[in-house]
């Protein structure tokens, strides 16, 4: 009781950060370009999953719409980092000041986060009054809406065409920093009074409301914070491959990031991060098997497409035996003698 929630839970972001650093160091040590790109991809998914967790984990409302914020962020990267001459050709409808803007990628990520947060605030002000399945469907509608607008607004988003010319950042470190930043943000939100109030509302809405928790407002705060994280991730995603299209940020990415969160455990930040690391490693492992592995003198290779099937099967198995995900509701902490058992009583995240 004597320790503040900050000190009590500090081990979680530190441990998660160290795991991420370890992944980055492996990429650096191996020195192979495709492997490096794989690790970058994993860090991006970590950002997305943490962004999802901030809202879904704390509020208990499943959101199918968060990838829309990644889309908003991705297009901010396109609007602000492509050379003005190229923008003039692909997106002639941009306002003049934006047409002339050319900022570095990290600034684009920050602006992307801000832009996504603004829209999260606008959408959230309406959507956060809903709860349960109605809220989930409404977030899905938001995704469809953003996708439709970006797929058709020819002069500003180049519609369904790929927007090219976004400077590609192939170094793993900026993505590592962003992923750690997302984890720290998620953790800080989780232990804040707003995070605590929202989890209280998730578990006992009536009691929480009776204790003075303004549920829509608490949800809105989580929605905006998570929107910002998704926006940052979307901008960096654009910088990782150099192009954006609206269909990159649609159902495919929505469901893979949600599955990672569910498999890891929706209830904990560690679950979000470890779910990504576990499923991404699994996908990569299966892809190697698809490419073929030398066993003795013969080559063993899975037929193409098995990766997707095996991934589904493994996810079903995990959820059969651990319905609350790999981490359940627990956080990753250091085992400490004499400390209150983490995760058993009260929120530890």
Buried b / exposed e over 198-231, threshold 16 CB at 10 Å, is: bbbbbeeeeebeeeebebbebbbbbbbbbbbbbb
Contacts of 34-41 with CB under 8 Å at 24 or more apart are 36/170, 36/172, 37/170, 37/240, 38/280, 38/284, 39/172, 39/175, 40/170, 40/172, 40/175, 40/240, 41/240, 41/280
* Residue from the set 15, 121, 156, 241 that interacts with another protein by CB under 8 A: 241
Question: What are the E-state strand segments in 40-80?
Answer: none
Q: Which helix (H) or strand (E) holds 57?
A: helix 33-59
Q: Closer to another protein by CB, 44 or 224: give it.
A: 44
What residues does 163 pair with on adjacent strands? 244
Find out whether 242 and 164 touch, Cβ atoms under 8 Å: yes
Q: Closer to another protein by CB, 170 or 217: give it.
A: 170
Q: Closer to another protein by CB, 244 or 326: give it.
A: 244
Helix axes 269-291, 306-321, angle to 10 degrees: 150
Q: Closer to another protein by CB, 73 or 195: give it.
A: 73
Q: Output the smallest distance, CB 304 to another protein, in A.
A: 5
**Site residues (CB under 8 A) for another protein, limited to 271-310:** 287-288, 290-294, 299, 301, 304-305
CB 293: neighbour CB atoms within 10 A? 12
What DSSP character marks residue 293? E
Q: Closer to another protein by CB, 89 or 188: give it.
A: 89
Kindly report the backbone phi and psi dihedral angles of residue 99, in degrees, each rounded to the nearest multiple of 5, phi listed first: -60, -35
Q: Output the smallest distance, CB 34 to another protein, in A.
A: 4
* Residue from the set 242, 282, 302, 314 that interacts with another protein by CB under 8 A: 242
* Residue from the set 157, 245, 259, 270 that interacts with another protein by CB under 8 A: 245
Q: Output the smallest distance, CB 179 to another protein, in A.
A: 16
- Cα radius of gyration (the chain): 21
**Site residues (CB under 8 A) for another protein, limited to 13-72:** 30-38, 41
* Residue from the set 11, 141, 181, 243 that interacts with another protein by CB under 8 A: 243
Q: Output the smallest distance, CB 241 to another protein, in A.
A: 4
Structure-block tokens of residue 87: 């923008």
Stretch that binds another protein, among 164-172, 213-221, 272-280, 333-341 (CB under 8 A): 164-172
* Residue from the set 89, 133, 209, 334 that interacts with another protein by CB under 8 A: 89
Q: If binding is defined by CB under 8 A, does position 177 make contact with another protein?
A: no
* Residue from the set 162, 181, 310, 314 that interacts with another protein by CB under 8 A: 162
Which residues would be at the binding site for another protein (CB under 8 A)? 30-38, 41, 89, 160-162, 164, 168, 170, 237, 240-243, 245, 248, 252, 287-288, 290-294, 299, 301, 304-305
């Amino acid at each position: 009781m004597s320790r503040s929630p900050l000190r009590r839970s500090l081990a979680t972001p530190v441990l998660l950060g160290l795991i991420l650093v370890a992944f980055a160091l492996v990429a650096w040590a191996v020195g192979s370009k495709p492997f490096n790109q794989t690790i970058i991809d994993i860090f991006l998914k970590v950002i997305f999953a943490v962004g999802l967790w901030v809202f879904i984990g704390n509020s208990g409302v499943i959101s199918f719409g968060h990838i829309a914020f990644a889309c908003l962020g991705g297009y901010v990267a396109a609007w602000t980092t492509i050379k003005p001459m190229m923008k003039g050709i692909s997106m002639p409808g941009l306002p003049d000041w934006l047409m002339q803007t050319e900022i570095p990628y990290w600034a684009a990520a920050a602006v992307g986060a801000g832009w996504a947060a603004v829209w999260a605030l606008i959408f959230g002000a309406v959507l956060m009054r809903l709860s349960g399945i109605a809220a989930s469907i409404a977030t899905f509608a938001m995704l469809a809406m953003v996708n439709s607008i970006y797929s058709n607004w020819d002069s500003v988003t180049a519609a369904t065409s790929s927007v090219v010319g976004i400077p590609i950042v192939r170094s793993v470190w900026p993505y590592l920093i962003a992923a750690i930043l997302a984890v720290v943000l998620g953790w800080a939100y989780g232990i804040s009074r707003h995070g605590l109030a929202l989890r209280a509302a998730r578990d006992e809405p009536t009691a929480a409301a009776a204790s003075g928790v303004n549920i829509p407002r608490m949800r809105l705060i989580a929605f905006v914070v998570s929107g910002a994280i998704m926006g940052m991730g979307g901008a960096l995603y654009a910088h990782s491959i150099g192009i954006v299209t609206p269909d990159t940020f649609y159902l495919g990415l929505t469901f893979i990031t949600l599955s990672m969160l569910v498999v890891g455990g929706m209830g904990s930040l560690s679950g979000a991060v470890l779910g990504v690391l576990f499923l991404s490693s699994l996908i990569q492992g299966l892809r190697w098997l698809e490419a073929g592995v030398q066993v003795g003198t013969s080559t063993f290779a899975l037929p193409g497409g098995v990766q997707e099937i095996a991934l589904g099967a493994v996810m079903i198995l995990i959820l059969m035996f651990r319905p609350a995900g790999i981490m359940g509701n627990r956080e990753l902490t250091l085992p400490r003698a004499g400390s209150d058992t983490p995760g058993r009583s009260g929120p530890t995240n």
